[in-house]
Structure 1
Amino acid sequence: MSPSSILDLPIELCLRVLEHLDGPSLARSRLTCKYIRSLVDDSSNLQYKIELSITQKEDGIYSPLTVAEKLRALRNHQRAWDRLEWKQDKCVPMAGGSLWELFGNVLAQQDDSGSILFRQLPSRYRGIEEKEWRIQPDIPRVRDFGMDPSQDLLVLIEAPRWWGNNADRCHRFYLRTMSKCTKHPLARDGFIVHKQMVPDRLSYSIQVSGDNVGVLFNSLESGENELVIWDWKTGFRKLYLTGDEMRSFCFLSERHVVLTIRALSSEEELVISLLVVDFESESSEQQAFDSPQRSFSLHLPNLGPTITPVYLNIKTDPTPMWTPNPELQVPFHNAHSNRLYVVSLAVQADEAVKFVVLFVPWTTIMSHMGVLGAKDENMLEWHTWGPKGKLIFKNSDVFETSMNRNLQELVSYLFIQSRLILLFGNATVTGRGMQSPDQ
């Protein structure tokens, strides 16, 4: 006679069934009866799944630790964060050079000699040791650099030489290893070239995401800003956008990028927005920033009548698809969906400069992918996406949009604090049961 319910199954089979559930489902299932609760509570595998979901982490598949050891490390790690208890306080001096980068748990600094010092930041709970090494770039003039420790990738930028007998109007991006500064073995040519015909002073914003590297060329004179995305392994160009309206960018996924846009509407009104583009579906030829067909815009609130924006930037590091280097063998790491995009806006208000900070969860942006490419629905006004997107403003009195009292009080609190730590999460656990933050 076949079993009538899961409770009639042998313990081994019952555990096998429960192992197919995700963390939230496991937390809810343990509330069904004492028997299921005891199975879940006595299983390190099932408890680890629940804890990963609570802390918005993913399992480190290359770790040699047992599940029980991972669970203990995860709980200790989260307890230290909850209590703000750190094991070591260390001051890292900045080198004398003008370039530095912090990405994927590695701090890189250029010194006065032109060499680059890398410092891998330690983590006792995740078993990451502190490590330092130095490399000497094999190109004479490094204007900027980007990196991805998980791929041992270092991208060195050489700016054009506009004048002289050896004038060269090309930006060159050299693909090196972080470990030895040799040609990266996965890069077909070892470098990428981008030509520019009109002399201009530029700054660079660079980000690596998997096989993609994106560079925003910020014109400091009369030229237009340019965003170019390549497959760094093959050198193939995927996207080439132009326009001073583009102020910054970040990768959203393996095929999507988000840009901050400052532009004038057809009514000559200033509009600040986030532009999402599916670069895998677009032409690789040069086009204006507002030409892509597979795109949509998320408008920010209108600025007050006396407000003038002077700076607009979006940032998240590392990118959502990033995972630690397998050689680190970490027991767990941040979930791909647990990413926060920080939008920073500086404005001139009367005679004062004010700073506005918006925290946008990755899930908020991705939830609107359904309007990607829709001709009449790809411009979302603030009221259709912002209030439901769990955004937090700092110093938001520069916007015309009104807010409820609770948010105003939070903003006032943020404004007077010189140091602040914000904890973001989709769910917490009360009595080992999943509960939303609103509860």
Structure 2
Amino acid sequence: MLTFQVETHVHDLCSLPTELIIKLLDELDFRSLLLCRQVCRFFQTIIDEDAALQYKIELAVAGMEDGPPSARSPAERLAKLKARQAAWNSLQPSSQKTIPMLRGEVWELYGGVLAQARGPQSLAFRQLPSDIRGIEEKEWMIEDVGIAIRDFGMDPAQDLLVVIETPLGRIVNTHLLELSTGRRHPIASKSVLSYRPAGSHSFAIQISGDFLGVFFISGDESESELLIWNWKTGDRELCVYSCDGAEVASFAFLSDRHVLIVGVNLPDAPLEDQQQPGLVLFVIDFLKTPADTQDIKDVDFLCTFHYPTLSPLATPLAMTVRSDPAPSWKPHHDLLVPFYTSREDRLIVVTLWVADRLVVRSLLLLVPSSILLSRVNSLAPGEFKRHFPWEEWGPQVLV
């Protein structure tokens, strides 16, 4: 009876005008389209011959999202997407260009823009071109940002330039400027975010939507500190420091409210049977964590992702995490790109350096952000301090 009803419904659908069937199919996601394609040859032919439906499927296969509306038709976007995939599969770029790097100057590459300091107060920018996605090369300079540049970060999608001023005393000033002009950013309610760290530091800067994270990396015996601000309002969302064996090594934004921290001997790490410090990825909901300065050991973190125990002969030296683009990032609307990296298909890149006898080796782990977020989202309401061993999230074979 069920089979008869399904066949009857399919027959009724097939009797509709093809244009209406395409409109109905266009409302489905790519998984539903693939299922519909298996229903009958009629649906298979419609889906295979319609450029817009094929484009939706190929976007998912490539881990891409559709770009903003433009004059490009679905057929043109599909052709460009296939050209991009072919270039990546063969590692054959459509064009090549050598860009000289300045020695001894700070630089940043983010969102398709390469920026380099040219002297103590000048920055040079180059928008990297893309033949396939129709991005033209563009160069511009900010001759004088008005301060001595110690470090900087940027987000071209928000026309945001974050410049850390070379400290003259103990106060570190972070300036929020326009990437295009160097003037004060009009959306920021405060043009300068100030903080007084415990000692001398170098910096790591990450931007994710409304949030700016600055990691103060200790250069002496003082603790390292991580601060997260809402750069638009100037409000501080998180401030944690590490000391007494709980070392914060690096951070990246995991979602619009979660920050991922990597480190050694982080709080509540089960170390009883290990012959080495615990290596973990540590998740905090920074929108629910008090903004007062806290020792990392006292933070109510959501969960930790643990690395496997290394060989007794291997000594961990350093660990970093990076994820570009940010969780909700998409290109500036003026670029009108046909597609861009899907926000659900970002990669979290964790690099671990270890000393194996007298040889220093690096272990690179590429983790789809969806794997970590699925574990975070599996937590019960109000649950925190959950530990995920390697077997519950990591690959079973390390290459």
Corresponding residue to 1:385 among 389, 393, 398: 393
How far off its partner does 1:64 sit?
Answer: 2.8
Instruction: Give the 3-state SS of the residue equivalent to 2:278 in structure 1.
Output: strand
Query: Which whole-Å deviations, capped at 9, do the CAs of 1:52-76 have from their partners, x for residues lacking one?
Result: 1111111112433122221121122
How far off its partner does 1:373 sit?
Answer: 7.5
Q: 1:45 to 1:202 in 2, by over 3 A?
A: same
For the residues of structure 2 that align with 1:378 and 1:42, how far apart are their CA atoms?
48
Query: Which whole-Å deviations, capped at 9, do the CAs of 1:57-98 have from their partners, x for residues lacking one?
Result: 111124331222211211222222222222212111002442
Q: Is the aligned partner of 1:171 residue 2:172? A: yes
2:196 match = 195
How far off its partner does 1:381 sit?
Answer: 1.5
Corresponding residue to 2:335 among 300, 303, 328: 328
Post-superposition, which runs of at least 4 consecutive aligned residues in structure 1 deviate over 3 A?
A: 264-269, 372-377
More off after superposition, 139-148 vs 291-300: 291-300
Contact kept in structure 1, 2:318 and 2:353, CA below 8 Å: yes
Contact kept in structure 1, 2:304 and 2:385, CA below 8 Å: no
**Percent identity (aligned):** 39
Q: 1:128 to 1:17 in 2, by over 3 A?
A: same
Q: 1:351 to 1:96 in 2, by over 3 A?
A: closer
Corresponding residue to 1:250 among 237, 252, 271: 252
Contact kept in structure 1, 2:171 and 2:196, CA below 8 Å: yes
2:46 match = 39
Instruction: Give the 3-state SS of the residue equivalent to 2:212 in structure 1.
Output: strand
For the residues of structure 2 that align with 1:375 and 1:182, how far apart are their CA atoms?
44
How far off its partner does 1:364 sit?
Answer: 1.1
Q: 1:118 to 1:372 in 2, by over 3 A?
A: farther
Contact kept in structure 2, 1:108 and 1:116, CA below 8 Å: yes
For the residues of structure 2 that align with 1:220 and 1:210, how far apart are their CA atoms?
29
2:290 match = 283
1:416-431 matches, within 5 Å, as: none
1:390-405 matches, within 5 Å, as: none
1:322-401 matches, within 5 Å, as: 322-369=329-376, 370-371=378-379, 378-387=386-395
Q: Which runs of 5+ in 1 are unaligned?
A: 163-168, 388-402, 412-439
2:165 match = 158
Amino acid at match of 1:260: V
1:99 match = 106
How far off its partner does 1:50 sit?
Answer: 1.1
Instruction: Give the 3-state SS of the residue equivalent to 1:247 in structure 2.
Output: strand
CA RMSD of aligned residues (A): 2.0
Contact kept in structure 2, 1:159 and 1:170, CA below 8 Å: no
1:184 match = 185
2:3 match = none
For the residues of structure 2 that align with 1:249 and 1:174, how far apart are their CA atoms?
21
Contact kept in structure 2, 1:296 and 1:372, CA below 8 Å: no
Instruction: Give the 3-state SS of the residue equivalent to 1:285 in structure 2.
Output: coil
For the residues of structure 2 that align with 1:201 and 1:153, how far apart are their CA atoms?
26
Q: Is the aligned partner of 1:48 residue 2:55? A: yes
Query: Which whole-Å deviations, capped at 9, do the CAs of 1:243-292 have from their partners, x for residues lacking one?
Result: 04110000011101101011175648510000011111111111121333
1:193-342 matches, within 5 Å, as: 193-196=194-197, 198=198, 200-244=199-243, 245-263=247-265, 267=272, 270-342=277-349
How far off its partner does 1:348 sit?
Answer: 1.8
Corresponding residue to 1:128 among 132, 135, 138: 135
Query: Which whole-Å deviations, capped at 9, do the CAs of 1:12-70 have from their partners, x for residues lacking one?
Result: 22112111111132123222212112211222211111111111111112433122221
For the residues of structure 1 that align with 2:153 and 2:381, how far apart are their CA atoms?
31
Contact kept in structure 2, 1:294 and 1:373, CA below 8 Å: no
Contact kept in structure 2, 1:296 and 1:373, CA below 8 Å: no
How far off its partner does 1:159 sit?
Answer: 3.8
Instruction: Give the 3-state SS of the residue equivalent to 1:39 in structure 2.
Output: helix
Amino acid at match of 2:255: S
How far off its partner does 1:346 sit?
Answer: 1.0
Aligned length: 382
Contact kept in structure 2, 1:24 and 1:53, CA below 8 Å: no
Query: Which whole-Å deviations, capped at 9, do the CAs of 1:83-129 have from their partners, x for residues lacking one?
Result: 22222121110024420000000010112354111111100110000
Amino acid at match of 2:153: G
TM-score (norm 2): 0.90
